Amino acid sequence: MPSVIAVAQQKGGAGKTTLAANLAVALAAGRRVALWDADPQHSLSRWRRLREEGRGARAALEFLEVAGWRIGIELERIGRTNGLVVIDTPPEIATDARQAVRGADLVLVPLQPSPPDLWAAEGTLRLAAAERRPARLVLNRAPAASRLRASMEAEITARGLPVLGVALGNRAVFASSFAAGLSVLEAAPRSAAATEMALLAAEVAALLG
């Protein structure tokens, strides 16, 4: 079976879709990566359309369009080629998000440095724990050095919550590249955002083994 990463967080606007798209591109070097848009708002599918309409060099990604029982067959097909599936999920612990978490080898929970994001993220971590899936918080839109970030990090440590070592800064290129159907690695390979994304992907790849 392929490795499956579910990007989940009950709170909307935390950065799930941005992380899923950018991580898929970052991990597509050297392996087959498929994205599965499990969010009925379909922002990832719209990103795909922009991507297909655009010009220039882009990483080859697959997009899974299947639902329900067929997903098992698709995962097996991709798994035969040592593939990876990244699932973007809806902002609620509804059936689809729960199923994605249940089938994941790693659950990533993006959160912005604000208490409501942390409270919502804890709910998603509890869900992952209930399903016995490994999970990591991913600090997103985190100002490099700020009191807010420091207090969030202290809070995360105090509660013993698992968190990725690499955080993503608040960088406009995440929004502008997404609007062009690209990842930050493709739109601005020399940007700080691209460096962070590459480091984050390396940390995730190491966790998957």
Ligand X SMILES: Nc1ncnc2c1ncn2[C@@H]1O[C@H](COP(=O)(O)OP(=O)(O)O)[C@@H](O)[C@H]1O
Residues in touch with ligand X (CB under 6 A): 9, 12-18, 43, 91, 140-141, 168, 170-171, 174-175, 178
Applying CB under 5 A, among 5, 9, 16, 196 the residue interacting with Mg ion is: 16
Judge whether 204 and 197 are in contact, CB under 8 Å.
no
Instruction: Say whether residue 17 binds Mg ion (CB under 5 A).
Output: yes
Q: In what order do the strands lie in the sheet with 3-7?
A: 62-64, 33-37, 84-88, 3-7, 106-111, 135-139
Per-residue mark of binding to Mg ion, 18-57 (x: CB under 5 A):
-------------------------x--------------
User: What is each CA distance from 171 to 9, 13, 60, 96, 195, in whole angstroms?
Assistant: 20, 15, 25, 30, 12
Task: Give me the least distance between CB of 138 and ligand X, in Å please.
Answer: 10
Task: Give me the least distance between CB of 22 and ligand X, in Å please.
Answer: 9
Task: Give me the least distance between CB of 121 and ligand X, in Å please.
Answer: 11
Burial class (CB in 10 A: 0-12, 13-18, 19+), 116: exposed
Task: Give me the least distance between CB of 151 and ligand X, in Å please.
Answer: 19
Residue 32 vs 128, nearer CB to ligand X: 128
Instruction: Say whether residue 89 binds Mg ion (CB under 5 A).
Output: no
Judge whether 201 and 27 are in contact, CB under 8 Å.
yes
Interatomic CA distance for residues 181 and 93, integer angstroms: 27
User: Which residues of the shown chain bind Mg ion in the complex (CB under 5 A)?
Assistant: 16-17, 43
